[in-house]
């Protein structure tokens, strides 16, 4: 009978209302909804969802606890494998991972695993959290560079094993991309991110903010002067890319990184913040990934009229379907098969328009995607006074450039094996610093594998 119930819909803020505020879009399940949704899980003997979770959460086990109304027990099951469940329940691409492999999805809709994870995490936080079990302290110092998803996951696992872990964070707040990249309306900072980071601190992990590894201290200093026995580098992919077209240095052209950092980390959307943010009348956001959606929806909430410009078609949009859907609902305009060729300025050097060319899909390229080709003579202008470039990011070269013997490949990514081991003994790496920009959960998975490898390295 379980499969007869459809997936329990989740309540969301009205698109017309939320287009003008930074409150969370999705309200999540209440107890009643969570109980009902959890009853749909078949508790498969050979659960495909677990195999497709990058951190291997025991999904049917936690859902069974939800079904029994034992929410604290459900939270304890998740906590064995994830230190950031309230984050992952909100930002994971479940549709391509756990939910994408759910057997119920073959004929109908998969179990809403993400929404259940979020419910359990939120319930647990509001009811005192999960008591953490950890091994006795072994006094061995491990340094983690970067307090984003990979660093937090690595630090948590190492702390549970008894290591003395210090995270060094370059910004003034811990969280990495959870703080500077993902907007408040998808991932509330005070209510969700900070308590989750506090739970990592509760394991005994120290977080030192305002430390630029590579400048304030080097990795060699950490080994030679500060007595660390291993280092995990989870420094992310923070360098913004630009297109290299004329006019990109005009006043009013921003990287999505700058725009989002001002709004998210610096809270420029809040009148009590001292940090300014540029609010154009009409904004073009260039790109089709999650960051493009985040930048577009942030600009919209600040009061701009927003168009997303993307060179392929809707089918190829790399953003999660849910984000695209939300953006459309809120009134973002999409211009597909459109590629900027120049940013045009007025006589004072401020943006006045984005000159674009129409594209059409040509032959499939090496990746199997049909690559867009320009249509000759189809250039046109979109009148805008602000352009936000959301074209992806690359790893920061600072650490690789100041650490002897740390190999990188030509895109600047640190070379590491499956377990995070780099070319330098004792130095491990994972997350976007190794793979280039990817997802929160893949970075967490890499952090966990590296923690296991660091443990093996230090015990051998």
Partner 1 sequence: MYKITRKNMLTPTICLMDVEVPRLAAAALPGQFLIVRARPEGERIPLTICDYDRSKGTVTIVTQIVGASSRMICALEEGECFTDVVGPLGRPSDFVEIPDAELRGRRYLFVAGGLGTAPVYPQAKYLHERGAKVDVIVGAKTADLLILRKEMAAVCDNLYICTDDGSEGHHGLVTEKIKLLLEAGETYDQTVAIGPMIMMKFVMLTLKDSGIPLVVSLNTIMVDGTGMCGGCRITVGGKVRFACVEGPEFDGYAVDFDEALRRQTLYRPQEQEADHKCKIGRN
Using CB under 8 A as the criterion, which residues of the chain lie in contact with partner 1 when the complex forms? Answer: 170-172, 180, 209-212, 215-217, 238-240, 242, 248-249, 251-252, 254-255, 257-258, 261-262, 265-267, 272-278, 348-349, 396, 398
Instruction: For the CB of residue 87, give the shortest distance to partner 1 in the complex, in Å.
Output: 20
Query: Are 386 and 280 within 8 A, CB to CB?
Result: yes
| Shortest spacing between CB 260 and partner 1, in angstroms | 9
Other Cβ atoms closer than 10 A to 128 = 9
Written as six digits, the tokens of 283 are 């904004």
Q: Which is nearer to partner 1, 109 or 248 (CB)?
A: 248
Question: Is 26 or 222 the residue whose CB approaches partner 1 more closely?
Answer: 222
- The least CB distance from residue 95 to partner 1, in Å, is 29
Query: How far, in Å, are 146, 150, 198, 236, 434 from residue 446 at the CA level?
Result: 14, 6, 21, 12, 9
Q: Which residues have CB under 8 Å from 294's CB, separation 6+?
A: 181, 182, 183, 186, 256, 260, 323
Count CB neighbours of 405 within 10 A: 11
Least separation in angstroms between residue 411's CB and partner 1 is 15
Handedness of CA 138, 142, 146, 152 (dihedral sign): negative
Question: Could you tell me the smallest distance in angstroms from the CB atom of residue 21 to partner 1?
Answer: 19
- Give CA–CA dist 34/32, Å, rounded: 5
C-beta closer to partner 1: residue 88 or 295? 295
Give me 321's structure tokens: 């379907």
Of the pair 47, 252, the CB lying nearest partner 1 is at 252
Minimum CB–partner distance for residue 272 and partner 1 (Å): 5
CA diameter of the chain:
70
Query: Cβ of 17: how many Cβ atoms within 10 Å?
Result: 10
User: Nearest distance from residue 258's CB to partner 1, in Å?
Assistant: 4
Q: Of 258 and 322, which CB lies nearer to partner 1 in the complex structure?
A: 258
What is the rounded CA–CA span in Å between residue 342 and residue 248?
Answer: 8
Q: Which is nearer to partner 1, 243 or 421 (CB)?
A: 243
Closer to partner 1 by Cβ: residue 41 or 388:
388
């Amino acid at each position: 009978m379980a499969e007869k119930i459809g997936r329990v819909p989740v309540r969301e803020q009205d698109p017309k209302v939320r287009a003008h505020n930074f409150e969370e879009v999705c309200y999540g399940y209440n107890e009643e909804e969570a109980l009902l949704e959890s009853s749909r899980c078949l508790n498969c003997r050979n659960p495909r969802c677990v195999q497709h979770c990058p951190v291997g959460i025991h999904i049917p086990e936690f859902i069974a606890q939800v079904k029994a109304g034992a929410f604290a027990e459900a939270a304890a099951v998740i906590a064995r494998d994830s230190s950031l469940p309230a984050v992952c329940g909100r930002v994971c691409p479940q549709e391509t991972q756990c939910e994408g492999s759910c057997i119920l999805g073959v004929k109908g809709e998969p179990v809403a695993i993400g929404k259940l994870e979020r419910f359990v995490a939120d319930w647990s936080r509001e009811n005192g959290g999960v008591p953490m079990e950890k091994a006795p302290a072994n006094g061995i110092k491990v340094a983690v560079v970067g307090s984003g998803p990979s660093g937090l996951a690595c630090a948590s696992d190492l702390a549970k094993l008894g290591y003395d872990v210090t995270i060094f964070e370059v910004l003034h707040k811990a969280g990495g991309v959870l703080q500077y990249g993902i907007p408040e309306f998808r991932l509330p900072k005070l209510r969700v991110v900070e308590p989750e980071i506090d739970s990592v601190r509760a394991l005994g992990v120290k977080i030192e903010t305002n430390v630029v590894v590579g400048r304030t201290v080097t990795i060699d200093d950490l080994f030679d002067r500060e007595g660390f026995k291993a280092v995990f580098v989870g420094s992310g992919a923070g360098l913004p890319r630009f297109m290299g077209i004329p006019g990109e240095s005009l006043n009013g052209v921003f990287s999505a990184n700058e725009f989002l950092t001002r709004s998210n980390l610096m809270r420029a959307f809040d009148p009590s913040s001292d940090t300014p943010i540029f609010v154009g009348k009409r904004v073009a956001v260039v790109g089709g990934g999650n960051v493009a959606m985040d930048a577009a929806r942030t600009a919209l909430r600040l009061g701009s009229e927003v168009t997303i410009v993307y060179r392929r078609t809707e089918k190829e949009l790399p953003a999660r379907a849910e984000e695209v859907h939300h953006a459309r609902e809120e009134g973002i305009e999409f211009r597909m098969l459109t590629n900027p060729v120049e940013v045009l300025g007025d006589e004072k050097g401020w943006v006045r328009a984005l000159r674009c060319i129409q594209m059409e899909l040509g032959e499939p390229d090496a990746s199997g995607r049909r690559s867009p080709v320009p249509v000759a003579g189809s250039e046109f202008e979109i009148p805008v006074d602000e352009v936000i470039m959301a074209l992806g990011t690359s790893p920061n070269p600072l650490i690789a450039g100041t650490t002897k013997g740390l190999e990188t490949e030509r895109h600047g990514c640190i070379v590491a094996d499956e377990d995070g081991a780099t070319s330098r003994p004792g130095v491990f790496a994972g997350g976007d610093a190794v793979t280039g920009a990817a997802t929160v959960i893949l970075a967490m998975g890499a952090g966990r594998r590296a923690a296991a490898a660091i443990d093996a390295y230090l015990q051998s």
